[in-house]
Amino acid sequence: MNDVTSGNVFLGENIGRHVAMAHTLFNVTNVVLMTPFIGTLAWLCEHLIPAKKATTATVHLEKNLLNTPSLALFCAMRALADMTDSAWRTAELALRGYKDGKPVKVSDIEAMEDEVDRNQGEIMDYLVQLTRKELSEQQAAAIPVLMHCVNDAERISDLALLIARRAEAQTTSSRFSKDALEELETLLEKATTIAGLTHESLQDGRFLAKAVGIVVEDLEKLAHASMQGHVDRLQKGLCTPERGLVFVEVVGAVENIVRHLENIAQRSDQLTEAAT
């Protein structure tokens, strides 16, 4: 160590500096020697200490907050936001599989739908417990509204399961035309925007109901134009009746799902006021 740092290692005033330098050299040497084996070490860690499987259960429903109704309502809204997001992701997965002619396994959608159902039960149970507490008039009025929103979110996942089952039963292998694919993709992108705004209106307490309404109007116009384009393609022989049926079903499913999202967003302002 005397060659690396000045001072005799055995003198008391130099011991601290020499220990620090020895520790530094030890760490640097370890890094140099072990770097080639990082991949192997990572593999060993993954197998010796396996990661715990993540759970998706509702985590916002704190029972100890039931005695503070405004906070309990806020927690329920956060749980509803997560539930709505899960329901939409389930629906989007099923819709894209149907659109692309690559159906998602019904069992996968069923598992996702079951999780949404569990969340529905947890939120409903939490709200029932909340009704037994001392509530303001505004808070009491918000609870049935929130329950309706929970049912709307659950209905979205139900529709996703219906779509997945319909897609699995589809036998035709013909493809959509380029125009039809572009129209469906635009509709799905609009629906994704609506789902995101709905989630934000519940998650962040922002007043986004009007914004959702505007995007819904745009989507309805696009859906109407898409149906007109579909009729034109049928008349020109650019689309088969079998594939046309799938097109109509996807458009209709998107519209139905968006109605439920809009229902939730329209009530978000009232829920936010009750939770503050």
Same domain, 21 and 94: no
Please report whether residue 5 resides in a domain: no
- Is the same domain home to 117 and 251? yes
Whole-model pTM: value is 0.75
Which amino acid makes up residue 57? Answer: A
62 assigned to some structural domain:
no
Based on the domain organization, do 131 and 38 belong to the same domain?
no
Instruction: Say what the pLDDT of residue 3 is.
Output: 55
Q: Residue 79 contacts by C-beta under 8 Å, 6 or more apart in sequence?
A: 58, 60, 61, 119, 122, 123, 126
- Residues 6 or more apart from 8 whose CB is under 8 A from it? 2, 14
**Is residue 27 domain-shared with residue 90, that is, in the same domain?**
no
Residue 22: pLDDT band with limits 50, 70, 90? low
Judged by average pLDDT, the poorest of 109-113, 140-144, 245-249 is 245-249
Q: How confident is the model at residue 23 (pLDDT cuts 50, 70, 90)?
A: low
Residue 6 has pLDDT above 70, yes or no: no
Average pLDDT, the chain: 82
Residue 33 domain boundaries? 12-48
- Tens digits of residue pLDDT in 54-67: 344 444 688 889 99
Residue 58 lies in a domain: no
Q: Report the amino acid identity of residue 192.
A: T
Domain assignment present for 64? no
Per-residue pLDDT for 221 more than 50?
yes
Same domain, residue pair 163 and 263 = yes
- Beta carbons within 8 Å of 93's beta carbon, 6+ residues apart: 104, 108, 109, 112, 160
Same domain, 27 and 122: no
CA-to-CA dists, residue 258 to 5, 8, 88, 213, angstroms = 71, 78, 9, 10
Binned at pLDDT 50, 70 and 90, residue 206 comes out as low
Same domain (yes/no): 121, 230: yes
Instruction: Please check whether residues 86 and 209 belong to one and the same domain.
Output: yes
Q: For residue 148, what pLDDT band results from cuts at 50, 70 and 90?
A: very high
Q: Which amino acid is located at 59 in the chain? A: V
Residues 122, 28: Cα–Cα separation, whole Å: 53
d(CA 133, CA 143): 12
Amino acid 139: pLDDT: 94
Flag whether pLDDT at 74 surpasses 60: yes
Quick check: is 59 in a domain? no
User: What is the 3-class SS of the chain, one letter each residue?
Assistant: CCCCCCCCCCCHHHHHHHHHHHHHHHHHHHHHHHHHHHHHHHHHHHHHCCCCCCCCCCCCCCHHHCCCHHHHHHHHHHHHHHHHHHHHHHHHHHHHHHHCCCCCCHHHHHHHHHHHHHHHHHHHHHHHHHHCCCCCHHHHHHHHHHHHHHHHHHHHHHHHHHHHHHHHHCCCCCCCCHHHHHHHHHHHHHHHHHHHHHHHHHHCCCCCHHHHHHHHHHHHHHHHHHHHHHHHHHHCCCCCHHHHHHHHHHHHHHHHHHHHHHHHHHHHHHHHHHCC
Query: Is 2 among the domain residues?
Result: no
Specify whether 120 is located in the same domain as 188. yes
For residue 94, give the CATH number of its domain.
Answer: 1.20.58.220
Q: Are residues 141 and 44 in the same domain?
A: no
Query: How far apart are alpha carbons 221 and 215 in whole angstroms?
Result: 10
Q: Look at the chain and report how many structural domains it folds into.
A: 2
Interval 76-127: pLDDT, tens: 999 999 999 999 999 999 999 988 888 899 999 999 999 999 999 999 999 9
For residue 119, the model assigns a pLDDT of 96
Are residues 84 and 33 part of one domain? no
